[in-house]
Structure 1
Amino acid sequence: MKVYLFLIGIAALLAVSVGSEKIQQRNRPNIIYVLADDLGYGDIAVFNENGKIPTPNLDRLASDGMIFTDAHTSSAVCTPTRYGILTGRYNWRSRLKSGVLTGKSKALIPSSRKTVAAVLKENKYATAFIGKWHLGWDWAQKKEGDFGGEGWNPEDFGNIDFSKQVKNGPNTLGFEYSYGHSGSLDMAPYVYVENGMPTQLPDRVTVDKNAYSWWREGPTASDFVHEDVTPNFFRRSFQYIRERSKDGKPFFLYLALPSPHTPILPTTEWQGKSGLNPYGDFVMMIDAYMGQLEKVIKEAGIEKNTLIIFTSDNGCSPEANFDVLKQKGHLPGYKYRGHKADIFEGGHRVPFIAKWPEVIQKGRVSDATICTTDLMASCAEIVGYSLAANEGEDSHSLLPLFKNELTDKPTREGTVHHSINGSFAIRKGDWKLIMCPGSGGWSFPKPSDTTALASLPKFQLYNLKEDPGEMNNLYETKTEKVGELRSLLVKYITEGRSTPGISQTNDPIDFIWEQTAFINP
């Protein structure tokens, strides 16, 4: 009898334990992270009082949640920003010190490095990636070798064996489900890969050289239609949300859009809607799909405890045709200097919206400086996970800002910015120190504008509160502030982290990292 009662007691305890775990899981929010591609700070109406692109759905998302006016990507271009989002680590700590990967590049993130998805998966989340990967994965090769380099020679793609499994992709980094393409939508190969397997073999070569809809020549599968890629990713996301909402298990969905990056392809129903140009139409299309995404979430009955984050991977690209947009009164970069690829604010200051009805008070505006690397620490705090010393080295939790738990100290001590050519900048408070004389990117003065650069101070210092357009360089007069910021940047680089903790090492490289010459001037 005693044994019988003992077993009943054990069973009851197990039932309570299992029940408590289920309750705990249900109380954890679903997390949906939507990353637009090349969307400017001023392209969403709520961030730009003079904007000319109607974005009613994103504006409503903002009014139902909160916006961050001082949000930044870790880099001014695609690949490095995506690295930072998933790892919580600055991109320049990896082997990629400048530029971006291509559609056939090898995997940038090793399976040994923990990602946001891995953290959430370990904490009982279902995890999914849908969209543009652009972090490299290892295509199967017909002949082992150097893979023809990272260039755009179409003949190199003949060495990919599309009938075999892709290695070191999203599924090895914590994503239980993955569906997407390897690079940007203008980067071959144009093949969908689902859970590591190409969905169809490429059966033709396509190329488009039009002003807005151009993409590079490359192998294309019959189920890959450029115009339908963005709609397809949204449709699959809707399906995933509906399916996951039925079992009560929390989920993490990383929806990485390939738009409004080139090729700029608004579907027929959106062409001409903005009255600006195809780029404006494309942004309106994305806004409409975000409205549908919210509708799916509401209909699934999970709106209250779902955290939606919407942001961009860098500033707007000149491919949007700035001249035409400016003539019609629209500035994608708002009041900020520069654009995609630049170290100036227009290169890395992005719109950032967060909605979480159970936690975030409606209509709030935060002027705190945040970075896209902050997702890692935010998710870790949400699930009660303690990051190891070599995890999320540059990630700060946004949870206190979501909860409006204001403190006397800013969320982060300093924030490091990075341009396409690997130039650095560091921001602390109102001050920003740029470690190059020009844009470090695509706007004037570019790194190739040697004559113009020769006449400029070697570094730049701006007070962004007084000079948000970065026009008044104070480098030569505010020497004490220059020294303070330079020392902080050197500390962040050499210690392998910008958060409190044990010093780490940056990834080893077999070349000279020229952009850090300022460490020992």
Structure 2
Amino acid sequence: PAVKRDADLEYMNRSQQFIQQSVDAGKPFFLYFNHTLMHLPTTPRQEFQGKSGHGERADCLMQLDSDFATLLNFLKKIGVDKNTIVVFSGDNGPEHMDPWSGSAGVWDGSYFTGLEGSLRTPCLVRYPKVVPPNQSSNEIVHITDMYTTLLKWAGAEVPSDRIIDGLDQRKFFEGKQPRSARDGFPYWMGETMYGVKWHQFKMVMVLQRTLAEPALKLATPHIVNLDVDPKERQPYNYPHVHSWVIAHTSKIIKEFQESLVKEPLIPLGAPLDYIPHKVE
């Protein structure tokens, strides 16, 4: 914990050095700043211990906020904040075991499950004069979409020699259209497909409420309507709704399966210079 607790300072110092070197050289830069918080163990640095008055987890939230403020202030200090895209996002939902348990708000579930508390994470985007400020949305944006969107914003070419899962979300982020370019996606835990999201609906094939509980493969998929049941506790299995939703979620599965015919999955442990099967 002591090493983890202090590692973010090292990451932050090196990040600022990298940004400064890139700006001094007149080069664009891409920085992936992987802060260790709020991953367990939630142990704050010494200067934040007891600062919140609400325990170590709250102390860590204050530290996380302060560290990102340091980076944002640095961008402003060197004069590149107006021309730098900043994306803040989490990779999964909270831990459910004490003493590190967190909260997913209204959603049930923790990481390594197929519930919204695992899948749904915050995403904030700042791009001055391009992305309108003070806007919020519950539309679906998948992490793979950020790859394509950032490349497009940077004026780079998206590779055409392989299947790219990410969709271009520029019009959505820029406020030029109210809906996301994506209406759903299949989701897995490991190599098992747990279900498919489509708009406010989910087709649940495997149910698991916490990492400590066994995964239950359902004989018949359940339909969940997140608008009326955000905690996913009561299947929305009305016959007309069930068949209607499955028609759409099955299409998403079919499109994924067809993509595997064109290009197989990247093998586990593939080298960084792995070249996928060329799409004809």
Does structure 2 conserve the Cα–Cα contact (< 8 Å) formed by 1:496 and 1:506? no
1:487 partner amino acid: S
1:471 corresponds, among 233, 251, 255, to: 233
Q: Distance in 1 between matches of 2:238 and 2:254?
A: 22
SS of residue in 2 equivalent to 1:416: strand
TM-aligned CA deviation for residue 430 of structure 1: 1.5
Kept in 2: contact 1:342–1:443 (CA 8 A): no
Q: 2:199 aligns with which of 416, 429, 452?
A: 429
**Offset of residue 421 of structure 1:** 6.8
Shift in Å, 1:413: 3.3
Q: In the TM superposition, what is the alpha-carbon distance from 1:320 to its structure 2 partner?
A: 5.6
Deviation of residue 466 (structure 1)?
1.8
Partner of residue 390, structure 1? 162
Q: What is the identity, as a one-letter code, of the residue corresponding to 2:146?
A: L
In the alignment, is the contact (CA less than 8 A) between 2:163 and 2:263 conserved in 1? Answer: no
For the pair 1:459 / 2:228, whether they are aligned, the reply is: no
Q: For 1:261 and 1:471, locate their aligned partners in 2 and report how far apart those are by CA, in whole Å.
A: 27
Q: Secondary structure, in 3 states, of the residue corresponding to 1:252?
A: coil
Could you tell me which amino acid in structure 1 is paired with residue 167 of structure 2?
H
Tell me the CA shift for residue 476 of structure 1.
6.4
CA distance in 2, matches of 1:267, 1:315: 23
- Give 1:248's aligned residue: 26
Distance 1:436 1:308 in 2: 35
1:417 aligns with 2:187: yes
* Cα deviations by residue, 1:281-326 (Å, 9 ceiling, x for unpaired): 1121111001101110000100101000010110011246377xxx
> Does the residue aligned with 1:495 lie in a helix, a strand or coil?
helix
**Structure 1 residue 371 displacement after superposition:** 1.0
Distance 2:245 2:130 in 1: 39
Q: Does 1:358 align with 2:117?
A: no
Partner AA of 1:365 in structure 2: S
Contact 1:262 1:319 in 2 (8 A): no
CA distance in 1, matches of 2:11, 2:259: 36
Query: Is residue 332 from structure 1 mapped to residue 85 from structure 2 by the alignment?
Result: no
C-alpha distance in 1 between matches for 2:256 and 2:131: 34
Label 1:258 to 1:417 Cα distance change in 2 as closer, same or farther (>3 A). Answer: same
Q: Given the superposition, is the C-alpha separation of residues 360 and 490 from structure 1 closer, same or farther in structure 2, using an over 3 Å criterion?
A: closer
Determine if contact 1:433/1:462 at 8 Å carries over to the other structure: yes
Deviates more, 1:457-466 or 1:334-343: 457-466
* Matching of residue 229 in structure 1 with residue 1 in structure 2: no
Shift of the 322–360 alpha-carbon distance from structure 1 to 2, 3 Å rule, reads same
CA–CA distance in structure 1, aligned partners of residues 104 and 263 of structure 2: 35
CA distance in 2, matches of 1:272, 1:420: 38
Cα pair 1:227 1:266 within 8 Å, conserved: yes
Query: Secondary structure at the residue paired with 1:365?
Result: coil
Q: SS at 2:151's partner residue?
A: helix
Given candidates 405, 411, 419, the residue that maps to 2:176 is 405
2:60 equivalent among 282, 285, 290: 282
Question: Measured at CA, do residues 420 and 318 of structure 1 come closer, stay the same or move farther in structure 2, by a change above 3 Å?
Answer: farther
Distance in 2 between residues matched to 1:276 and 1:372, nearest whole Å: 32
Inter-CA distance 280–387: structure 2 relative to 1 (3 Å threshold): same
- Structure 1 runs not aligned, ≥5 long: 1-212, 214-223, 324-330, 448-452, 510-521
Unaligned runs of 5+ in 2: 269-280
Determine if the alignment matches structure 1 residue 379 to structure 2 residue 171.
Answer: no
Residue in 2 that maps onto 1:263: 41
Matches of 1:354 and 1:489, distance apart in 2: 27
Residue by residue over 1:248-302, the C-alpha shift from the partner in whole angstroms, topping out at 9 and shown as x without a partner, is 2211111122222123221111112233322221121111001101110000100
Mapping of residues 85-484 of structure 1, within 5 Å:
213=1, 225-319=3-97, 321=99, 332-382=103-153, 383-392=155-164, 394-406=165-177, 410-420=180-190, 422-439=192-209, 442=211, 444=213, 446-447=214-215, 453=216, 458-475=220-237, 477=239, 478-484=241-247
> Per-residue displacement from partner, 1:143-180 (whole Å, max 9, x unpaired)?
xxxxxxxxxxxxxxxxxxxxxxxxxxxxxxxxxxxxxx
- 2:266 equivalent to 1:504: no
> 1:192 maps to what in 2?
none
Sequence identity (%)? 24
Q: Is residue 197–residue 203 contact of structure 2 (8 Å, CA) maintained in 1?
A: yes
- Rg larger in structure: 1
Equivalent-residue separation in structure 1 for 2:267 and 2:74 (angstroms): 45
- Measured in 2, the distance between the counterparts of 1:230 and 1:415 equals 33
**Distance across 2 between alignment mates of 1:357 and 1:363:** 12
Shift in CA distance, 378/242, structure 1 to aligned 2, threshold 3 Å: same
Distance 1:437 1:292 in 2: 41
**Residues 460-493 of structure 1: CA deviation (Å, up to 9, x unaligned):** 2111122212122124643313531442243133
Shift of 1:333: 0.4
The CA deviation at 1:432 is: 0.9
TM-score (norm 2): 0.84
Per-residue CA deviation, residues 380-400 of structure 1 (Å, 9 max, x unaligned), is 3221414315142x2012211
